[in-house]
Amino acid sequence: MPHIATKTTSLYVLLCVVFLLKGFSQSKTINSGWQFSEDKTTWQTVNIPHTWNQDDAFDDEPGYRRGLGYYQKQVYISSEAKEKVFYLKFNAVNQEATIFINGQEIGNHKGGYTAFNFNISEFINYDAYNVIEVTVDNSHNEDIPPLDADFTFYGGIYRDVELITLPKQHFSFDDFASDGFYINYPSVSEEQAQIEVTAILNNTASKKEKTELKFTLFDAEGRIINSHVEMLKLQAERSEEFKINLPEVKDPKLWSPKNPYLYQLKLVLQDKNGEILDSKTTNIGFRWVSVDADNGFYLNGKPIKLIGVNRHQDYEGYGNAVPMALQKKDIELIKDMGSNVIRFAHYPHARELYDLCDQLGILVWTEIPIVNKVTNTEAFFETSISMQKEHLKQYYNFPSVVMFGYMNEIFIRLVFNNKLTEQESQDLKKSSVKLATQLEALTRELAPNHMTVMAGHLNAIYNETGIADLPMIFGWNLYFGWYDKDIPDLGIFLDEQHKRYPNRSMLLSEYGPGADVRIFTRTPKKFDFSTDYQAKLHQSYYKQITERPYMTGMTAWNYADFGSEFRGDAIPHVNQKGLVQYNRTPKDIYYWYKSVLDTDEPFVHIATDFLKGLTLYKDESYAIQVFSNQDKGIVYLNGKKQEDIQFRNGVATIQMPFDNGINQIKVVSEHISEEKTVEVLKIDTLDFKTFNHFGINIGAHFYFNDEERDVTFVPDQAYENGWFGFLDGTPYGMTKDKNQGLPHDIKNATSEPLFQTLLEGCSSYKVDIPDGNYKVDLFFVEPQIKSIENIYNLSNRKEDSTQKQRVFDVFLNTNLIEKQFNLALEYPQKYGVTLTTEVQINNDEGLTISLKSIEGQPVISGILIEKI
């Protein structure tokens, strides 16, 4: 309906003109058509949000460009607006920005996740184009947090830029780029609620001015609940703070995740003639929170177990420069999963998302990025304090925000750094506690009605230093069953902490294993990145936390897979602990959470979304999981009733005797049913009659669905006559007791899980295939890679150059296909190597791969056989 759109536009234009004439405040984004350059010689046109690291943080080269980026834009400003005050606002630039107007430097801002602005009025040329230049720097800077963390520090102007035009009397922009007013609730109950507004008003005129500040409170349906007018005399050339109590609201509707009832408060500043000068609107949510070390979290006087996720802001293909519509979808997906809490980790996210949390009913933990370590300098302390001030003031008014944090795992670098002297280590501890103490005090002072929080990792140092007792809620990031011990150790640890620190409120602020949807297995294990292990860990953790009333809640690490440049999970440069993938396609576990958290609508999910290319031998069956918020159901396979099932903890596990080909699965419960198909290859012998390819993931206990080769590699096994398997060798990187870790970040391969698992010391591998011609791919990688000194990499093996020398001959039956094979010498580090040969099998000899050692122990990662 184009004519309606035109009408709306012309109305909008008209309104703007009227407001401009009348002197109304106006803000517009200036995101389009910036010039960007990395070297000031070649320029390209870009739009904001923008980053220069969305590609290089994911390529094969180690590192990503951390340095300078230059932005330029011209803006025409007419002399009609000469009487106005102009602000230039940046909603986030990572991480240091220096701004110039018409060649003059007007200011600098440190910190990549909060907004800042400058009054640019005196730098403007009227009736002319004004040149805005921004120099952005994302190089490592010892004085700006975060110094180090498990996520990529993409450089650029990645949130909106706004040009704001104001009349001389307006809500201040100068209080750490806040909105110039703060909402407090002196008392809220089911009977009544009070609102107190602190407004900071500026008058830049040279004479004092009589104004009226008018408040109107609307309910969610847009009806006026009450209004109030305050007559204010603004002194000349001053910024003043006014505290105003609004009329009491009787029988307020309370805000909660179940019923996120929002009122709107409109604040209008008028001059003595009643002309509007400036106006703001804010969400009002009546709610109160408290904690109890024995009984957890309370909202509006009732206990509520906080269960939800952590979120990072980046997104596949975009880095941190993510379109707002996509970001908002995240919040909707998180709500839809049944979450009642989000931890915006490890830095403040876009304010639009907090607004959405207000609307959808999600409690928020928000924090600043002081992660892993501090620098003991005045400059670092100053940046941290001012960052927290911006954070508190810019995010203060969202009713969803209940927890303000300021540190994450602040001792992790210290405890992993064995190069520190005792004195250095003591000094670092002291300075970290000192900064935490200052930030805690600041947070309590500026946000007296919020909870304070901090997260630590599994180490006694948080208790010993007393840092864990500073915040009102201490968050433990616990990875039992991943980085540490086993899944059941979670509860044991928490019970012990609760006993030793009975007055401390705790939240499980992070937990979760890495999981890749291409990996599935009957025997899930720590570090295998299987979705099955992910299911196992999350299901158990949920049970362990919900059984413990003293735990305030749990936030899974992480809502989505995210970029971490130095990391080597099953996808390089991506931390894969997400409940949804980097492109936000849900993994099955997302639906499991929905089935335990979302009780509103009947829900069932057959967890076979990624069960692709399952190969089963003879009469083998395969267990699948079904998730539901119902009590029971019936499972059908290919039209036949299979089993009556009961859902416990949201899940039922069923053995499925799949047929060859496409299988129909149907789950029926009283109120809902779901159907899925699974394609299965059932084979009795390796006869290549019903299949053309056969791939084995050597050294692995899991299936790997390799999209690139369009084949699902089967798990490895010991040789069995008439079948396939190894005659000797040990799986590398997957041994039960040693957290040996996997070789990660393999070059020349998109199929990391194929290369990452391997057999070491294998001299003979047999595959009993019939006579005929075949193309055989053998896959290799040298596992003794030099691991980047990094706490997040799973490989704990020390590099040992003597072990690196493995030289072997490779035979397919009696054919020598590679002589003196020396991976370390012939290929770059971590290089995935494929040897392809055609072989003819005769006389029922089958295929034998012989790896004859000349020096050291041979290795092999996989085999793919194709009938030709």
CA 305, CA 77: separation in Å to the nearest integer? 53
Q: Binding mask 737-776 vs ligand GCB (x if CB under 6 A, - otherwise)?
A: ----------------------------------------
Q: Is position 114 an interface residue for ligand GCB (rule: CB under 6 A)?
A: no
Closest to ligand GCB by CB, 534 or 575: 575
Closest to ligand GCB by CB, 412 or 833: 412
Closest to ligand GCB by CB, 261 or 406: 406
Reduced 3-state DSSP string for 313-382: CCECCCECCCCHHHHHHHHHHHHHCCCCEEEECCCCCCHHHHHHHHHHCCEEEEECCCECCCCCCHHHHH
Name which of 214, 92, 226 is nearest 162 in CA terms: 92
Closest to ligand GCB by CB, 335 or 577: 577
Binder among 64, 404, 557, 647 for ligand GCB (CB under 6 A): 557
Q: Is position 153 an interface residue for ligand GCB (rule: CB under 6 A)?
A: no
Q: Binding mask 562-591 vs ligand GCB (x if CB under 6 A, - otherwise)?
A: -------------x-x--------------
Q: Binding mask 387-416 vs ligand GCB (x if CB under 6 A, - otherwise)?
A: ---------------------xx-------
Strand 604-606, strand 859-860: pairing: unpaired
Which of helix, strand or coil describes residue 161? strand
Strand runs labelled E in 492-579: 505-510, 519-520, 551-556, 562-568, 572-575
Name which of 816, 743, 753 is nearest 783 in CA terms: 743
Closest to ligand GCB by CB, 159 or 346: 346
Least distance in angstroms from the C-beta of 577 to ligand GCB: 5
* DSSP state at residue 236: T
Residues 460-519 that bind ligand GCB (CB under 6 A): 477, 510
Burial of 181-199, coded b for 16+ CB within 10 Å and e otherwise, reads bbbbbeebeeeebbbebeb
CA dihedral (388, 389, 393, 395) in degrees, to 10, reads -10
Binder among 168, 457, 797, 830 for ligand GCB (CB under 6 A): 457
Beta bridge partners of 653: 625
Closest to ligand GCB by CB, 218 or 347: 347
Closest to ligand GCB by CB, 477 or 861: 477
Least distance in angstroms from the C-beta of 647 to ligand GCB: 30
Contact 436, 400 (CB under 8 A): no
Q: Is position 795 an interface residue for ligand GCB (rule: CB under 6 A)?
A: no
The CA-based angle 494-496-500, given to 5 degrees, is: 115
Strand 764-767, strand 847-855: pairing: antiparallel
Task: Give me the residue whose beta carbon is nearest to ligand GCB.
Answer: 150
The CA-based angle 21-24-27, given to 5 degrees, is: 115
Name residues whose C-beta falls within 8 Å of residue 463's C-beta, 6 or more positions apart in sequence.
500, 501
Least distance in angstroms from the C-beta of 150 to ligand GCB: 4
Q: Is position 19 an interface residue for ligand GCB (rule: CB under 6 A)?
A: no
Closest to ligand GCB by CB, 407 or 758: 407
Which of helix, strand or coil describes residue 18? helix
Closest to ligand GCB by CB, 170 or 567: 567
Least distance in angstroms from the C-beta of 740 to ligand GCB: 18
Least distance in angstroms from the C-beta of 557 to ligand GCB: 6
Closest to ligand GCB by CB, 94 or 408: 408
Closest to ligand GCB by CB, 404 or 479: 479
Name which of 687, 717, 719 is nearest 703 in CA terms: 717
SS3 content of the chain, % helix, strand, coil (to 5): 20, 40, 45
Least distance in angstroms from the C-beta of 533 to ligand GCB: 15
Binder among 792, 805, 852, 857 for ligand GCB (CB under 6 A): 792
Least distance in angstroms from the C-beta of 308 to ligand GCB: 16
Closest to ligand GCB by CB, 178 or 408: 408
Residues 589-648 that bind ligand GCB (CB under 6 A): none
Contact 150, 575 (CB under 8 A): yes
Name which of 337, 241, 406 is nearest 578 in CA terms: 337
Total chain residues near ligand GCB (CB under 6 A): 11
CA 366, CA 354: separation in Å to the nearest integer? 9
* DSSP state at residue 716: P
Binding site for ligand GCB (CB under 6 A): 149-150, 408-409, 457, 477, 510, 557, 575, 577, 792
